[in-house]
C-alpha cells in the first residue's frame, strides 16, 4: 500500500506538470495571438494623412491584397474576422467615394475596437464608427438607438455601415470632403479632437507599415531639391543659402549641423529650415550645434537619437535603420566618395551629413548640406572610410 501511494503521488505530480506545461503553452499561444503587439509606427510617415485618395499628397490607396495583409498583421480574433468581412466593401467605398480604405479600418478600431468593444451604442446597430448625424445616413431599416446623450445610426450589418460611411464622408451637409476637409487633422474635430486624431494616425501607421515593403516609395527617389524614401520626403537644404549669423561665422560656412537637422526634420514636419533650427541655439545657451546637443534639437520635433562611436556593428546598424525607413546623421572627419565620382575632403573642417535611404542595390543616399551635387548615393564602405577621427553616427527615431 505504501508503494502504491508513492506511485500515485508521483503520477499525480507528473500529471500536474504536464498539464502545467500544456496550459503554459496554450496560454502563451493565446496571449501572443490575442492582439497585435508590434510597433510599426516609425516604418512609414504618411505626411498630412490626407484620406481623400484623389487629392494631391494623399496617402496611397491600398489594394485589396495589401489591405488583407494589413488586417491579418494588425488584428486577430473577432477584430480580424469583422474587418475581413467588409474587405470588399471598404475597397468598393475607396473606389466609389475616394475614401481611403485603411482610414475606414482605423476609425472602426478607434471607435469600437473593430466591433468588439462598445460603450454607448447597441452592438446590434453595427455602428462601429459611431455615426450620429441623422436619418440620411441610417440603414434601410431607418432605426436608431440612443446612448451617452446621442442618437446613433442603425445598420443591419457592418457591410452596410461601411457603404453608408462612404456617403457620410462625401455628402455631409456641413463637414468632410464636400467642404474641403480631406485630412485626419481636419476631420478629427468632428469626432473627438486631438486624442482621436492621434489614435487614428497611429492605427494608420500600423496598417501601412504592415505592407511598407510593397508601397511605391520603398526605393529612394531624387526629385530636384527633395528626396523621398519610405513615405518621407526630405528637403535637401543647402547651408550656403543661409548667410545668417551663426557661431563664429554664418550658417553658410559653419552650419552643417543645423542644416542636417533641418533636412531630417523636414521628413516629419513641414515649415522648418536651417534658419529656424539655428534660432533655437540661444535657448540652450549655445552659439552653435555640437554632437552633444543634437538630442535636444531633435526632441523639439518629437525625435530622438544620440551619437555613437563607430564600431563593428555600425555598418549593420545604419543599414538596418535605413531599411526601417528612418534617417541617420553622420559626422565625417575624412573624405566622402560618392558613386557618381564626386568626393570632398572634410578632414580639416569636419562635417555633418544625413543618410536618408537606400536604392535597390543597397547603396545609401547622402543628403549633404554642403551642396546639391554632393547629394547622391554611396556605399556603406565609403561612409566608413569617410569617418576619419570622427566617424560618429546618430540613428534618428521617434519618441
**CA dist., res. 341 & res. 323, Å (int):** 25
Q: Please tell me the CATH code under which domain 64-214 is placed.
A: 1.10.530
pLDDT for 137 equals: 52
**CA dist., res. 205 & res. 217, Å (int):** 15
* Confidence grade of residue 296 (pLDDT, cut at 50, 70, 90): confident
Who has greater pLDDT, 214 or 277? Answer: 277
Sort strands 351-358 and 303-304 into parallel, antiparallel or unpaired.
unpaired
Nearest to 108 by CA among 158, 142, 47, 64: 158
Nearest to 181 by CA among 110, 99, 271: 99
Nearest to 204 by CA among 185, 218, 229, 220: 185
**CA dist., res. 74 & res. 61, Å (int):** 18
For 311-342, the pLDDT digits (tens) are 999 999 999 888 878 899 999 999 999 999 88
pLDDT for 399 equals: 76
Indicate whether 265 pLDDT > 90. Answer: yes
Who has greater pLDDT, 255 or 6? Answer: 255
End-to-end CA distance of the chain: 67
Indicate whether 148 pLDDT > 80. Answer: no
CB 130 within 8 A of CB 117: no
CB 370 within 8 A of CB 344: yes
The grid cell for 325 is 525607413
Judge: domain 219-398, CATH 3.90.70.10: yes
Least confident window among 54-68, 141-155, 174-188, 240-254? 141-155
The grid cell for 205 is 501607421
Nearest to 260 by CA among 244, 243, 272: 272
Highest mean pLDDT among 55-59, 352-356, 361-365: 352-356
Beta-carbon neighbour count of residue 336 at 10 Å? 24
Indicate whether 360 pLDDT > 80. Answer: no
What is the torsional sign of CA 64, 198, 178, 267?
A: negative
CB 177 within 8 A of CB 170: yes
pLDDT for 147 equals: 65
Q: DSSP letter string over 104-159?
A: HHHHHHHHHTTTT--SSS-GGG--TT---S-GGGS-TT--EEEETTEEEE--SSHH
In a 3-state reduction of DSSP, which class is residue 371?
coil
What is the torsional sign of CA 92, 95, 99, 101?
A: positive
Q: Which helix (H) or strand (E) holds 331?
A: strand 328-332
Q: Which helix (H) or strand (E) holds 235?
A: strand 232-235
For residues 35, 38, 44, 46, the Cα torsion angle rounded to the nearest 10 degrees is 30
CB 279 within 8 A of CB 271: no
What's the pTM value of the predicted model, to 2 decimals? 0.52
CB 192 within 8 A of CB 107: no
* Confidence grade of residue 348 (pLDDT, cut at 50, 70, 90): confident
CA-to-CA dists, residue 9 to 2, 3, 235, angstroms: 11, 10, 73
What does pLDDT average to over the chain? 82
Name the β-bridge partners of 303. 398
Which own/partner contact pairs does 359-366 have at CB distance under 8 Å and 24+ positions apart?
359/219, 359/220, 360/219, 362/319, 363/339, 364/318, 364/319, 364/322, 365/220, 365/222, 365/227, 365/229, 366/336, 366/338
Instruction: Give residues with Cβ within 8 angstroms of 207, minimum separation 6.
Output: 62, 70, 74, 102, 105, 106
CB 47 within 8 A of CB 233: yes
Nearest to 156 by CA among 124, 181, 187: 124
pLDDT for 48 equals: 80
**CA dist., res. 314 & res. 154, Å (int):** 57
**CA dist., res. 222 & res. 374, Å (int):** 13
For 299-316, the pLDDT digits (tens) are 888 899 999 999 999 999
For 189-240, the pLDDT digits (tens) are 988 888 999 999 999 989 998 887 776 545 678 877 999 887 788 999 999 9
Least confident window among 128-137, 228-237, 349-358, 365-374? 128-137
Q: What are the extents of the domains in the chain?
A: 64-214, 219-398
CB 79 within 8 A of CB 172: no
pLDDT for 144 equals: 66
* Confidence grade of residue 36 (pLDDT, cut at 50, 70, 90): very low
Least confident window among 13-27, 200-214, 275-289, 375-389? 13-27
Who has greater pLDDT, 361 or 380? Answer: 380
In a 3-state reduction of DSSP, which class is residue 312?
coil
DSSP label at residue 37: -
Amino acid at each position: 500500500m505504501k508503494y502504491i501511494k508513492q506511485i500515485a503521488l508521483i503520477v499525480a505530480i507528473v500529471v500536474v506538470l504536464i498539464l502545467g506545461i500544456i496550459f503554459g503553452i496554450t496560454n502563451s499561444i493565446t496571449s501572443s495571438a490575442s492582439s497585435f503587439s508590434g510597433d510599426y509606427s516609425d516604418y512609414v510617415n504618411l505626411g498630412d494623412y490626407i484620406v481623400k485618395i484623389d487629392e494631391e499628397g494623399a496617402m496611397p490607396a491600398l489594394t485589396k491584397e495589401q489591405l488583407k495583409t494589413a488586417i491579418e498583421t494588425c488584428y486577430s480574433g473577432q477584430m480580424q474576422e469583422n474587418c475581413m468581412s467588409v474587405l470588399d466593401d471598404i475597397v468598393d467605398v475607396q473606389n466609389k467615394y475616394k475614401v481611403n480604405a485603411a482610414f475606414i479600418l482605423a476609425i472602426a478600431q478607434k471607435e469600437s475596437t473593430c466591433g468588439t468593444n462598445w460603450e454607448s451604442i447597441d452592438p446590434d446597430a453595427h455602428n462601429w464608427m459611431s455615426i450620429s448625424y441623422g436619418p440620411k445616413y441610417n440603414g434601410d431599416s431607418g432605426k436608431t438607438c440612443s446612448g451617452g446623450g446621442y442618437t446613433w445610426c442603425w445598420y443591419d450589418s457592418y457591410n452596410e455601415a461601411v457603404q453608408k460611411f462612404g456617403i457620410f464622408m462625401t455628402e455631409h451637409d456641413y463637414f468632410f470632403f464636400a467642404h474641403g476637409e480631406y485630412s485626419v487633422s481636419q476631420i478629427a474635430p468632428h469626432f473627438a479632437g486631438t486624442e482621436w486624431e492621434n489614435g487614428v494616425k497611429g492605427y494608420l501607421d500600423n496598417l501601412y507599415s504592415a505592407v511598407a515593403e510593397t508601397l511605391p516609395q520603398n526605393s529612394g527617389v531624387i526629385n530636384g531639391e527633395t528626396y523621398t524614401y519610405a513615405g518621407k520626403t526630405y528637403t535637401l537644404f543647402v547651408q550656403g543659402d543661409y548667410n545668417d549669423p551663426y557661431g563664429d561665422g554664418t550658417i553658410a560656412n559653419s552650419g552643417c549641423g543645423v542644416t542636417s537637422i533641418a533636412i531630417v526634420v523636414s521628413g516629419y514636419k513641414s515649415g522648418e529650415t536651417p534658419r529656424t533650427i539655428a534660432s533655437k541655439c540661444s535657448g540652450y545657451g549655445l552659439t552653435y550645434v555640437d554632437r552633444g546637443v543634437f538630442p535636444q534639437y531633435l526632441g523639439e520635433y518629437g525625435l530622438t537619437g544620440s551619437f555613437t562611436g563607430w564600431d563593428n556593428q555600425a555598418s549593420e546598424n545604419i543599414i538596418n535603420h535605413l531599411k526601417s525607413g528612418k534617417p541617420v546623421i553622420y559626422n565625417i572627419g575624412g573624405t566622402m566618395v560618392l558613386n557618381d565620382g564626386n568626393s570632398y575632403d572634410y578632414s580639416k573642417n569636419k562635417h555633418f551629413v544625413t543618410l536618408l535611404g537606400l536604392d535597390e542595390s543597397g547603396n545609401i543616399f547622402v543628403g549633404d548640406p554642403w551642396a546639391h551635387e554632393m547629394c547622391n548615393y554611396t556605399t556603406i564602405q565609403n561612409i566608413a572610410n569617410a569617418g576619419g577621427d570622427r566617424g560618429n553616427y546618430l540613428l534618428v527615431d521617434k519618441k
